[in-house]
Structure 1
Amino acid sequence: MLALAGNSGNPVYDFFIGRELNPRVGTLDLKYFNELRPGIMSWVMLNVCFVIKQHHTYGQASNSMWLAVVPQICYCIDTLLFEYKVLTTMDITTDGFGWMLSFGDLTWVPAMYSLQARYLAFHPVHHSTTTTALIAILALGSFLVFRLSNNEKNAFRTNPSDPALSHLRFIATESGSKLLVSGWWGLARHINYTGDWVYGLAQCLATGFDTPMTYFFSAYFLVLLLHRNYRDECKCREKYKKDWDRYCESVPYMFIPYVL
């Protein structure tokens, strides 16, 4: 099966985006495998190495290092535990497996996402108890927003008739799909993106403010999520047509309830 975007006729662009949607070697789906396994595991391994490096050099691992590394490792574990849920994401359903995804999965994720730990391995930062607690609370709260909202969405997609979801209100569309307008998804149309981004920001805050390098992750991730949000909105508007207007009236905020 070929990806629609990766068959433009421009060989350079098609190589970048990927012509095949799910290239396989035997029964091995290369995109599904590379989407999580190599990059996520390498990210964890690099972080562990940076913790060991800091401890070896300075005799201890700073509280800032734990504030950066522990949430990232938890995120990686969570990603692998809920690996099956990636099947409904745009990367799997829409994008081809070209240079963009392969480079991102195998190189960009472990190299760029571990920048905070890499910096702290050579420039340890020691936070006060209050600052440590505030960053930890921000990380935990944002992670709960990300995980609980995604759980609710996936549960509703899997079985909207589940009695446990009977309290949720939705809009029935002409396409046959149902759009949630209550619960987490009644607060904002992309509330999971908000939790995901703030979670990453908390890890950047752990490194202090001596260098902008460690905030590259947060800036890049913001651009990534805004672009993905744009693609989501365009795709949904094309799919649901006037029903999407009804949905936007019911859920007017994109990311932050009552703000944005």
Structure 2
Amino acid sequence: NPIYDFFIGHELNPRIGSFDLKYFCELRPGLIGWLVINLAMLTKEWELRGSPSLAMILVNSFQLLYVLDALWHEEAVLTTMDIMNDGFGFMLAFGDLTWVPFTYSLQAHFLVGHPQELTPAAAAGIVLLNALGYFIFRSANSQKNTFRRNPNDPKVAALETIPTATGRQLLVSGWWGMLRHPNYLGDLIMALTWSL
């Protein structure tokens, strides 16, 4: 179906020579673009008010940590559904190159037009909540990625699993025994702090 192929992508990993377009676009352009937009918003706030607000500094710092984490753990993207199953069509290309940088930077954009004052106590609470979200996000994703790469790795070998209909194993202990998507819980907590 040409419409489906355009949206989802006909090829799994289109290449130009040995250059994998989907793997490249999955993280780097969108995440780096997000940081550039955030820095532009910080600079604009500085220009308008003489210095960036504590709220703007926190948003930029939290999101910088998130992007650096993604780039540092870039090899983990190789085990994600986007890379393993989805073709490189409009959905992924638009998401990676437009949706990520222009929607993930909305908190910084909001702060330029709507300055927010944070007390030191509120800022400390937001920092602690972000740290909790990051801890859940990073440890759950690390556990998942380690298991997908090598289920016999000593870090995950003791975790309980159940077989799926496809013959693969599904983690049912550790982070993945507490809730279905602990990595998303960490993501949601961090997103909340970015908005606070």
TM-score bracket relative to the smaller structure: over 0.9
Equivalent of 2:15 in 14, 24, 28: 24
Q: Which residue of 2 aligns with 1:233?
A: none
Deviation larger for 149-158 or 167-176: 167-176
Deviation larger for 36-45 or 155-164: 155-164
Structure 2: gaps of 5 or more residues: none
Q: Deviations over 1:38-78 (max 9, x none)?
A: 11111111111111111122111111112211111110111
Equivalent of 1:33 in 24, 34, 41: 24
- Shift in Å at residue 175 of structure 1? 4.8
Alignment: residue pair count: 196
Equivalent of 1:140 in 131, 136, 140: 131
| TM-score relative to the length of structure 2 | 0.93
Deviation larger for 76-85 or 113-122: 113-122
Equivalent of 1:195 in 186, 189, 194: 186
Q: Partners of 1:175 and 1:100 in 2: how far apart?
A: 26
Q: Which residue of 2 aligns with 1:73?
A: 64
- Shift in Å at residue 131 of structure 1? 1.4
| TM-score relative to the length of structure 1 | 0.71
- Shift in Å at residue 33 of structure 1? 0.4
Please state if 1:12 is matched with 2:3. Answer: yes
- Shift in Å at residue 20 of structure 1? 1.1
Identify if the C-alpha distance between structure 1 residues 13 and 181 changes in structure 2 by more than 3 Å, giving closer, same or farther: closer
- Shift in Å at residue 147 of structure 1? 0.6
Please state if 1:157 is matched with 2:157. Answer: no
Letter in 1 for 2:46: H
Q: Partners of 1:106 and 1:86 in 2: how far apart?
A: 16
- Shift in Å at residue 170 of structure 1? 2.5
Letter in 2 for 1:115: L
Q: Deviations over 1:169-190 (max 9, x none)?
A: 2335575533222211110121
Identify if the C-alpha distance between structure 1 residues 176 and 100 changes in structure 2 by more than 3 Å, giving closer, same or farther: closer
- Structure 1 vs Structure 2 CA RMSD: 1.6
Q: Deviations over 1:115-174 (max 9, x none)?
A: 111121232211112211121111110111011011011112222222333442233557
Letter in 2 for 1:101: L
Larger RCO (alpha carbons 8 Å, 6+ apart): 2
Q: Secondary structure at the match of 2:110?
A: helix
Q: Which residue of 1 aligns with 2:94?
A: 103
Q: Partners of 1:125 and 1:174 in 2: how far apart?
A: 51
Q: Partners of 1:191 and 1:184 in 2: how far apart?
A: 6
